[in-house]
Amino acid sequence: MIDQNIRIAYFSMEIALHSSMPTYAGGLGILAGDTLHSAADMHVPMVGISLLPRRGYFQQQLSADGWQTENSVSWTVEDYLQEVGPRTAISIEGREVHIRAWKYQLNSRNQNSVDIYFLDTDLEENSDYDRSLAYFLYGGNSHYRLCQETVLGIGGVRMLAALGYSGLQRYHLNEGHASLLILELLEQKRRQNQGSDDPETVRDLCVFTTHTPVPSGHDQFPLSMVSDVLGAEYSLAGCEDNFCFDHKLNMTYLALANSRYINGVAKKHSQLSRQMYAGYCVDSITNGVHAETWTCQPMQQLFDQYIPGWQLDNLSLRGALNIPVEPIQKAHQLAKKNLLNHINQLPGTTPEKQMEEDIFTIGFARRSTLYKRPDLFFTDLKRLQAIGEKFVRLQIIYGGKAHPNDNQGKLLIQKIISVANSLNKHINIVYLNNYDIALAKLMTSGCDLWLNTPQPPMEASGTSGMKAALNGVPSLSTMDGWWLEGCIEGLTGWGIGNTAVSTTSPPQITQEACSLYDKLEQVILPLYYQNQPGYLEVMRHTIALNGSYFNTERMLNQYVTKAYY
């Protein structure tokens, strides 16, 4: 039965729902899954739409010398998703492409649920190429991507209609991958109005969230390719200077030009987006994470004891200030033990790489790519080793995949693994293979400090530090993305570099590295080893100030009041 009251359709190229479902690549998919989970918690009438990736994103394999190779993932779709009856079809290059849908029912702890549909073209009646559109997330070339986005945008709107969703009041485009839905809505209105356009009505239906200032995150397709794929039905006449530039369809501008509400994912990112997209009003809703999902078991038990009901009332986590520090320390040590046991039992962990529970442990995990600078920590190896020696030993746990086409990202992984093998016994570094939801849960709860070193202003938001915060793990980060809002120096963590917000000259790498080492050596490590109550106080404030705020409950409330109302 379709709930006729569903009013918001949430479109996303990736949605992370379950650790064994490879339907996500990284942060964007995690955010989508967390958002829909909060929608279920909060009775926000939403339905999710995505593409089925039968062979996943990829499984990362790291060779002994640290080179990443990718294997496709195999999973049994039927184990997680239920096929639904209605089908639809779209036209790609004049071929009729049939689409079916698989449903995931996301259940909230309060018996409410949200349905999410994964679109699937792997049907006998389709050509081999069209079937393959349901294989790889972010795979293939630009043409493959355009065809997938056609399935998501145009196929998605049609599938929702076929499923019986009528009267949808908002279409939320989680990034520009879904922008073609706008062309389908415009075309629908044209049919309804006997050929006359109604862009204002369509505009009033659409909400657009942009997620990155990095150019490669914004799809553009040659107009000739677009007209081949979509056919004559979808006219792009009049798109010049609007959302087509240089004979290319720009998916970001297609969404910008046709959405009633546009937002960036942190205050700084929105500010930057307003500069990038002059003339558009870009509001700001800072990202969050689903609190219950990302809080480890020992912390959950503690919160249950002191702040009952916190799962559906995340604001109440401010009450963490009333939890005594001893049980916080106990819960954290259990989480740390879980992480270190996991690492120590891995076949590749040699005796000298064994991790110890009483040693300060830093975590760093995210997509490996240049601007995230996972190697900033290695700028001055002599200094790093001296710090390790001064405090006997430091443990650093790395993780993260590079996009298959990002050679520089792969080289960075190789560099970290090679440096890790060259350092003396005072610095123990491991790089964990195949960073995914399960590993992210272990890492963000089990480390003592969460490190992030993006090059400002490239990090739109970042969310792993928010997961850490819910687990009482403070961050040490360059001043970018969410951390500009989350950092209260010495109370929720520490900033790297010039912590005053600078809009002029970007800081120098050596200055930032120096600041990173200074904070570690002079502030954080002395606090951890010589003033345990002081460190626990930071952990407690991290939960109370940042866990209570940087969650998808607060975030979705803002979408409801600013974008969906």
- Residues at the interface with ligand PLP (CB under 6 A): 26-27, 30, 366, 435-437, 440, 462-464, 467
| Residue 520 burial by Cβ neighbours in a 10 Å radius (0-12, 13-18, 19+) | buried
The string of DSSP codes covering 3-31 is -TT--EEEE-S-----TT-----SHHHHH
Judge contact between 97 and 151, C-beta under 8 A: yes
- Give least dist CB 32 to ligand PLP, A: 12
Nearer to ligand PLP, 115 or 480 (CB): 480
Nearer to ligand PLP, 220 or 314 (CB): 314
Cα distance from N-terminal residue to C-terminal residue, the chain: 25
Nearer to ligand PLP, 99 or 442 (CB): 442
Q: How many CB atoms are located within 10 Å of the residue 31 CB?
A: 28
What is the distance between the alpha carbons of residues 454 and 450, in angstroms, rounded to a whole number? 13
- Give least dist CB 49 to ligand PLP, A: 21
Nearer to ligand PLP, 387 or 437 (CB): 437
What is the distance between the alpha carbons of residues 73 and 79, in angstroms, rounded to a whole number? 15
Nearer to ligand PLP, 21 or 256 (CB): 21
- Give least dist CB 437 to ligand PLP, A: 5
- Give least dist CB 245 to ligand PLP, A: 29
Q: Is the dihedral of CA 189, 194, 195, 201 positive or negative?
A: negative
Phi-psi region of 472 (alpha: psi -120 to 50; beta: other; left: phi over 0): left
What is the distance between the alpha carbons of residues 414 and 62, in angstroms, rounded to a whole number? 9
350: Cβ contacts below 8 Å, ≥ 6 apart: none
- Give least dist CB 209 to ligand PLP, A: 14
- Give least dist CB 442 to ligand PLP, A: 11
Look up residue 115 and give its two tokens. 């349905």
Look up residue 200 and give its two tokens. 């204002």
Q: Is 183 helix (H, G, I), strand (E, B) or coil?
A: helix
- Residue 312's alpha-carbon distances to 283, 322, 465, 559, in angstroms, are 26, 19, 21, 17
- Give least dist CB 70 to ligand PLP, A: 16
Nearer to ligand PLP, 175 or 436 (CB): 436
Nearer to ligand PLP, 464 or 542 (CB): 464
Nearer to ligand PLP, 436 or 553 (CB): 436
Q: Is 51 helix (H, G, I), strand (E, B) or coil?
A: strand
- Give least dist CB 19 to ligand PLP, A: 9
Nearer to ligand PLP, 28 or 244 (CB): 28
Look up residue 49 and give its two tokens. 């739409």
Q: How many CB atoms are located within 10 Å of the residue 247 CB?
A: 11
- Give least dist CB 106 to ligand PLP, A: 17
Spacing of C-alpha 562 from chain mean position:
22
Q: In this structure, which amino acid lies at residue 466?
A: M
